[in-house]
Amino acid sequence: MSRVHSLVTSAVMLAFITVVPATAVAQKSGGSLTVGLELDIPGFDPLKVGVFDTSASMAAALMFDTLTSLDEAGEAQPKLALTWSHSEDYKQWTFQLRPGVKFHDGSAFDAKAVKFNIDRQKDPANKCRCAFYISTIKAVEAPAELTVVFILSDPAQNFPKIVATATVNNVVQSPAAIAAKGADYNRNPVGTGPFILKSWNAGDRLVLERNPVYWQQGRPYLDRVVLRPLPDSQARFASLEAGESDIVWDDEFDSDNILKAKKNPALAVHQHTGSGAGVYAFNTKAAPFDDVRVRRALVMAIDRPKWSQVLTNGLSRPATNPYGEGSWVKCKDDGAFPFDLGKAQALIKDYGKPVKFKMLVTATPRGRAVGQVLQQFWKQAGAEMEIEQVDQTAIVTRAFARQFELTPWRIIDLADPDPQMYANFRSGSPLNLANYTNPELDALLDRARVTPDLDKRSEDYCAISRLINSEAIWFWSFQNTYYAIAKAKVKGLGKFHSGIIDVSPVWLE
């Protein structure tokens, strides 16, 4: 009894300890934050850059706003839009916009500005590569000053979540500034966001200052954010250790530094497991992968924990389905085969012929390492894999042309699994890399995208995962996980949705 009692007290005390500081220590305003990014940012004009990489999106999240934002649980919350509603078939979404918001150049934000941005990206005359990502947006209408309507070609239940990410398509840029600055706009972007671009040296730091008239009262807390491209991971970590950066982007291939930082009390490692994963596709029309026994054998022969240990000191988190821990799709049973070398060997023996094939890997040290580990696993199972090193871009071409036996691919973080699952597995899709057709799979994919009930959808996507895993047409390596290493005084960092480290809510202790 006394033991139970003390457990209860300590639980209460624990709750007390964890809750109290959070409320007692108010967010402090002021201060400057220096952020180490991975890459140089080429600019922000969608027509010029086509797509924002992670570094550009991190900067965009500071200077621009999106219609919605994602909270800790990954649910859409109001940002530039206050409320939203949808048509019954989820093909039309209407957003009511926040009144009184101004761009940094003083011009007013309204429905026309949203329409202008999307129309400009979709205009065939502009030949914007960014148009690809919004091909399912048929039109945008602005029926009232603060009402904007998106008309979609496919049903999108999670549209408000999809427009939350600071991508090239979603951030709202100032129509007036785009018109006024012309070719110079790319490096002089104007948004409604919490920070205003102050200066930008070529190939070097972007200095952003607090937007004094930001629509959210009292925000942002920081006076200034400096973004520095630091492409070398050692240099990026050194800049943190030397006190020149307050927070740096990192990934699990830099595991030595992440593990070092975890031991350092002055530093904090922030990590976020998103949705999506690193994946591999078998070409099921090419021997020996036209036989399901071979595919299953190879998948069973993979010891993911060991793979992770070799590549990233165990930081990489094994994936058993394409959705990942960060996704709202939760599967009790995703149908993944457990590691079983004996069964794999038996299947290969049963197949009877020698299993020899080539796997594409990117011609980078990482690509080679990943391939060599698989090579060893499969050798033990009795299969002979030859590594074919190709340029990153060649993988895309070869994949589209189906000129491969086994190719790496990636499922990126998106708020909804539908766009990628539909493209990757619906028969006849150009991205159906496995060349695999199954009416049952098609029916599940068709139903999942229009089912309103989230639990039922989740169950459909789990059934899809079970089918893919059982047929072993694709397999998954590791979940998409994102890292940032920060000084301990950096507080208020949210989740890294889609791998974007948004430092706009940060305050310094």
Compose the 288-327 pattern: x for residues touching other proteins by CB under 8 A, - for all others: ----------------------------------------
Tell the burial category of 18 from Cβ atoms under 10 Å away from its Cβ (0-12, 13-18, 19+): exposed
Told to check if 10 binds other proteins by CB under 8 A, we report: no
DSSP string, 197-240: EEEE-TTS-EEEEE-TT-SSTT----SEEEEEE--SHHHHHHHH
Residue 240 tokens, joined: 């943190």
Told to check if 26 binds other proteins by CB under 8 A, we report: no
Q: Which is nearer to other proteins, 308 or 480 (CB)?
A: 480
DSSP H or E segment with residue 360: strand 355-362
**Separation of alpha carbons 190 and 394, rounded Å:** 36
Q: How far is the CB of 39 from other proteins (least distance, A)?
A: 8
Among residues 141, 154, 209, 241, which is the contact residue for other proteins, using CB under 8 A? 241
Among residues 123, 290, 333, 391, which is the contact residue for other proteins, using CB under 8 A? 391
Amino acid letter at 96? Q
Closest by CA position to 166, among listed 136, 196, 192, 138: 192
Compose the 251-290 pattern: x for residues touching other proteins by CB under 8 A, - for all others: ----------------------------------------
Among residues 6, 85, 153, 234, which is the contact residue for other proteins, using CB under 8 A? 234
Among residues 75, 154, 244, 340, which is the contact residue for other proteins, using CB under 8 A? 244
CA angle centred on 199, ends 241 and 167, rounded to 5°: 80
Q: How far is the CB of 444 from other proteins (least distance, A)?
A: 24
Site for other proteins in 157-186 (CB under 8 A): 183, 186
* N-term to C-term CA, the chain: 42
**Separation of alpha carbons 314 and 46, rounded Å:** 38
Among residues 57, 239, 407, 481, which is the contact residue for other proteins, using CB under 8 A? 239
Q: Which is nearer to other proteins, 226 or 298 (CB)?
A: 226
Closest by CA position to 63, among listed 194, 227, 204, 178: 194
Q: Which is nearer to other proteins, 204 or 386 (CB)?
A: 204
List residues near other proteins by CB under 8 A.
39-40, 42-43, 48-51, 127, 129, 132, 183, 186-187, 201-205, 228-232, 234-236, 238-239, 241-245, 391-394, 396-397, 400-401, 430
